[in-house]
Amino acid sequence: MNMIKILLVLISLIGIFTGVGIAILDKLNIERKGFAAPIGFVVFLTLLQLLYYPAQIFNLSFNWIIGSSFIVLIIGTLLTLKNIKKVVENLLRKDTLIVLGVFIVFIIVFSKLFIDIEFSDSPMYLNYISQNINIEQLNMFNLYSGLPGAEWDGLYLYQGYFHFASFLCWLINIPFYLLGKPGYVENIMISTWGLGMLYSLISSMFIVNIIKYFKLKNKWFEFCLLFFTLFYSNFYYWRVAFSFYGNTFRTLLATMLIFYAYRWLKEENENIKYVIPFIVGAGLACSSSYLFISFAILYCLAVYLFVIKKERTFVDMSIFVLPIAIYATVMFCRTNIYIGAAFLIVFSTYYLGRFTRPIRKLIINIEEFLFNNAKLIFFIVVPVAAILFSAYINFFKPEYLYNYSYYFQDHQKYDMVKDYTFVYSFWIDNIMNALRWIGVILVIIYAKTKEDKFIKMMILLILFVFLNPLTTTAISYLIASNVFYRTVEVLFNPFTELILLIYIYQAIQWQKLWQWIFEFILIGVVILGHAFSWLGYEEGLYTFYFIGGKNTESLYKIEPHEFKSIKFLQEELKNHPQDDQLTIISQVNGVRTFIPEAYQIFTSRDYFYPFIRVDWVFYDITRRHYDWEEKYDDIPYERACEFIKDYDVDYSLIRYWENPEFDKETDKCMDTLFDSGIVKVKRSK
């Protein structure tokens, strides 16, 4: 029944996104090529983000999120009803069967995976969604521990995607929140399954759109591309296990941004460019790192436009970066009021005055200068300056972490990226890496059309400016911090990979044997990628998460004994005074997603970052003991009850087989209420 509720809301949203997409595309006189829901999604999310900004800036009540969301939902519903015939036609098409097929496979696979809730970013995002529901001051808490009273990190405060997720949790549970009726659906289920399935549908629709856009004559090759992109590229572990992350949508929206820039250049329909700001706005609503990703893409687009001397380039680019200007102003107004004020003055002066004669003349002069000097500036001055600045940082600031050597680390160990350098990849990935780089070479050599030359220039700029080991220290220091390597998403994503594969096909299309081998590889890596995952081989697409999923509740994404202990504590807390801050110690994962009002003194994050622990000794006493760690004998367990009293701990959830000393000591000051055989729930006496 709970899943049915989520599916009903999801189906309604897809219908509304389709209605909004059709309305926007028709208004802009842009031909609808495929599903309209992806464009409707980005417009919907951008409008939400704009309405959410006041609540995010001034820490308003969650009621603002509810009201803003209903405004956009009502507008979207009205547009859907107005275009209901077109909506039905857009959704009831042959390609819908493809999307539904992928959706079913996604559900099967996702049900088998765990989300590594202890060591991934999952608890941060899930807690963020849960604790903002019905809160009096939005974002005023620590995302991990739940300690109220102060915001956590400015980088995570302005993503409306998570507040929309909070709204969806509230919406599905309206009977519970407003009428007190039973049937409450846990936030973790709505967040993981609801947002994950939303990603599956939107991404599949968009992938079908971009492949059908090329109208390939060889339908078998088109099928191979669909099969590969939908079931391989879109089934990397994070696009399934972490499909509910805003960062997963980041890659999708980066792909969408490149595609619509490509389509704008190809079709020469000036109205297409007005879709781009919505894509940028939606990306920023999903992930703070989209700021850098979109900057890299738009930088490449701007350079190309200046090189080909396209009229109104400066004005067009100012339209594209408008969401970035708003986002940057909002963020800096909170972190550095002087920089924020400067941004506000500069942007306001330009956007409000760009039709006045002095500013128009200035724009023309700047544009003319860049037309005449684009190659010198962007291919020589900028890269050389970045190389020199990187050298300065490396030699004169050796303490800076993201130096030359950082570039060569295996970034996929701690982030949702792939390795494309053949160094850290498995053989099955390296087969595709070989094809990718062959495609890159072919595009650089043979790109002829305006739109393909844009892809060529984007590849060159990414390689020589953004992913050059001699420049990345400067990129990190000035713009991207430690995640500069994420620009690999600009180089290799479902759309650019599609172009690379098409170029390979065109080079061998008259050589049947090579064509068959090529198509066999595309089909084969998909089958092997999934088969290896289910068989437990490390070369699989999502092997680690499939193995972890064997001991996980498929609906709630935590271990069964953890789920039982949390549900017991939920029942126990029905008698806990609401005006009393609930303080817990938990060795159980995901507890705050179920009980967001709790202050969890120590979280899994304390394991990685010792400097954030409120008390190092107390942490050593209470934490889990992992099998791979060295055991210490000098931990003062006898002080356990002293700390529990000092920190006013109400409850503890203890894996007593992993820390029997702490369990034994707490018997002196806590009563055991529940024992699952692995986890005990205790209450202070």
649-678: pLDDT as tens digits: 999 999 988 889 999 999 999 999 999 999
What single DSSP character describes residue 509?
A: T
Strand partners, 141: 148
Cα–Cα distances in angstroms (integers) from residue 63 to residues 52, 146, 296, in the given order:
11, 20, 36
Query: Collapsing DSSP states into helix, strand and coil, what is residue 156?
Result: helix
> For residue 102, what are its two tokens?
């992928």
88-102: pLDDT as tens digits: 999 999 999 999 999
Strand partners, 682: 652, 672
**If pLDDT is split at 50, 70 and 90, which confidence band does 415 have?**
confident
Print the SS3 string covering 280-333.
HHHHHHHCCCHHHHHHHHHHHHHHHHHHCCCCCHHHHHHHHCHHHHHHHHHHHH
The predicted pLDDT at position 14 comes to 97
Residue 225 host element (H or E):
helix 219-231
Alpha carbon distance 439, 499 (integer Å): 8
**If pLDDT is split at 50, 70 and 90, which confidence band does 67 have?**
very high
**Cα-only R_g, the chain:** 26
Alpha carbon distance 665, 398 (integer Å): 47
- Asked if 20 contacts 76 with a C-beta cutoff of 8 angstroms, the reply is yes
Least Cα distance to 56 among 162, 148, 142, 145 occurs for 162
Alpha carbon distance 65, 46 (integer Å): 14
Least Cα distance to 518 among 226, 224, 232, 234 occurs for 224
What pTM was computed for the model? 0.94
Residue 369 neighbours by CB under 8 Å, 6+ apart:
none
Least Cα distance to 629 among 618, 620, 638 occurs for 620
141-170: pLDDT as tens digits: 988 888 998 887 666 678 999 999 999 999
What pairing do the DSSP bridges indicate for beta strands 599-600 and 670-675? unpaired
Residue 631 neighbours by CB under 8 Å, 6+ apart:
625
Q: Residue 417 above 90 pLDDT?
A: no
The predicted pLDDT at position 182 comes to 84
CB atoms < 10 A from the CB of 602, how many?
A: 23
Alpha carbon distance 641, 672 (integer Å): 14
End-to-end CA distance of the chain: 39
Least Cα distance to 112 among 491, 434, 552 occurs for 552
Stretch among 168-172, 248-252, 336-340 having the lowest mean pLDDT: 336-340
What single DSSP character describes residue 148?
A: B
The predicted pLDDT at position 362 comes to 87
- Asked if 417 contacts 411 with a C-beta cutoff of 8 angstroms, the reply is yes
Strand partners, 651: 584, 683
Alpha carbon distance 457, 92 (integer Å): 39
φ, ψ for residue 114 (rounded to 5)? -105, 165
Alpha carbon distance 276, 97 (integer Å): 28
- Asked if 596 contacts 127 with a C-beta cutoff of 8 angstroms, the reply is yes
φ, ψ for residue 251 (rounded to 5)? -65, -40
The predicted pLDDT at position 357 comes to 84
The predicted pLDDT at position 658 comes to 87
Residue type present at position 404: Y
Alpha carbon distance 91, 390 (integer Å): 51
Stretch among 44-58, 527-541, 593-607 having the lowest mean pLDDT: 593-607
> For residue 103, what are its two tokens?
């959706």
Q: Provide the residue count of the chain.
A: 685
The predicted pLDDT at position 154 comes to 61
Least Cα distance to 294 among 264, 257, 246 occurs for 257
Residue 413 host element (H or E):
none
- Asked if 565 contacts 653 with a C-beta cutoff of 8 angstroms, the reply is yes
Residue 346 host element (H or E):
helix 337-353
Q: What are all long-range contacts of 79-85, with beta carbons under 8 Å and residues at least 24 apart?
A: 79/16, 79/19, 79/20, 79/22, 79/23, 80/15, 80/16, 80/18, 80/19, 80/20, 81/19, 82/19, 82/23, 83/19, 83/22, 83/23, 83/26, 84/19
Q: Judge residue 399's burial from the number of C-beta atoms within 10 Å of its C-beta, 0-12 exposed, 13-18 middle, 19 or more buried.
A: exposed
**If pLDDT is split at 50, 70 and 90, which confidence band does 594 have?**
very high
Query: Collapsing DSSP states into helix, strand and coil, what is residue 684?
Result: strand
Rounded percentage of the chain residues whose pLDDT exceeds 90:
74
- Asked if 659 contacts 587 with a C-beta cutoff of 8 angstroms, the reply is yes
- 366-378 average pLDDT score: 92
**If pLDDT is split at 50, 70 and 90, which confidence band does 7 have?**
very high
**Backbone CA torsion sign across 461, 464, 469, 470:** negative
The secondary structure of 31-99 as a DSSP string is ---S-SHHHHHHHHHHHHHHHHHHHHHHT--HHHHHHHHHHHHHHHHHHHHHTHHHHHHHHSSHHHHHH
φ, ψ for residue 635 (rounded to 5)? -80, 125
Residue 377 host element (H or E):
none
Across the chain, mean pLDDT equals: 92
- Asked if 358 contacts 443 with a C-beta cutoff of 8 angstroms, the reply is no
CA 25 to chain centre: 26
431-485: pLDDT as tens digits: 999 999 999 999 999 999 999 999 999 999 999 999 999 999 999 988 877 788 8
Rounded percentage of the chain residues whose pLDDT exceeds 70:
99
Q: Residue 123 above 70 pLDDT?
A: yes
